[in-house]
Amino acid sequence: MIVLQNLSKSYYRKGIRTVVADRVSAVFPTGESVALMGRNGAGKSSMLRMIAGTMLPDSGAILSDGTVSWPVGYAGSFHRELTGAQNVRFVARIYGVDTDELVAYVEDFAELGVNFHKPFGTYSSGMRSRLAMGTSMGIHFDTYLVDEITSVGDAAFKQKSTAVFRERMRRSSSIVVSHSLPFIRKTCTMGAVLHNGTLTFCNSIDDAIELYQTNTFQG
């Protein structure tokens, strides 16, 4: 379970203030896959980063009674000078999982071949996504945070990533950001719609999609 308590966050870009959260309180329940929906620029990725602990809110608190992943597929924390394998070993030590097992899993999952042992800074964006996705899926978390999983890699890799993610959801919770409504309908059981700093929680994914589409149409 993840609890948002009176959470507020805003930022300025080119002199324009964007409100991500305005005293938001909500509960993401255990055992559910919740779609986090909203128009482009609503602050969905920022909300995920706050829940992950990689971005601080302006005020309020975020509480969890279990382990929470970083945003799945996010490669921003990997070190450019380390190889893919060395980065995975570093992550394994941070999260206290078996180093050799995680390295073997990611090497097989990411399908990088010899590049797995080359510096991360030489990777293309697709290779970085493969490494990040494999590392995320190789560690068990009570809640997975997912930001556009369907955008990772080519068609075959997307299919494999989606299948593995759904398998993980059999024993974990998730908060999912995706613009793919078919993926959301298949994957999520509930929805939360972020709009103008307000988060509206819906127990039905269909109700969440309807609210999201209404907000998008109204502007």
Q: Are residues 119 and 150 both part of a single domain?
A: no
Q: What is the CA radius of gyration of the chain?
A: 18
pTM of the model as a whole: 0.85
Rounded mean pLDDT of the chain? 90
- Which domain, by its residues, includes 155? 1-67+143-219
Q: Are residues 111 and 172 both part of a single domain?
A: no
Q: Has residue 89 been placed in a domain?
A: yes
Per DSSP, helices labelled H in 32-83 are 44-52
Q: Are residues 58 and 158 both part of a single domain?
A: yes
Q: Are residues 130 and 151 both part of a single domain?
A: no
Q: Are residues 50 and 30 both part of a single domain?
A: yes
**For residue 57, what is the DSSP state?**
-
Q: Are residues 123 and 29 both part of a single domain?
A: no
* Last residue in a domain, options 139, 156, 185: 139
Q: Has residue 103 been placed in a domain?
A: yes
Q: Convert the pLDDT of each residue in 152-161 to its tens digit.
A: 667 788 788 8
Residue 73: per-residue pLDDT? 66
Classify 91 as helix, strand or coil.
helix
Q: Are residues 30 and 49 both part of a single domain?
A: yes
From residue 187, alpha-carbon distances to 17, 62, 91, 106, 133 in Å are: 33, 24, 27, 23, 17
Q: Convert the pLDDT of each residue in 177-193 to its tens digit.
A: 988 898 899 889 999 99
Q: Has residue 72 been placed in a domain?
A: no
Residue 186: per-residue pLDDT? 87
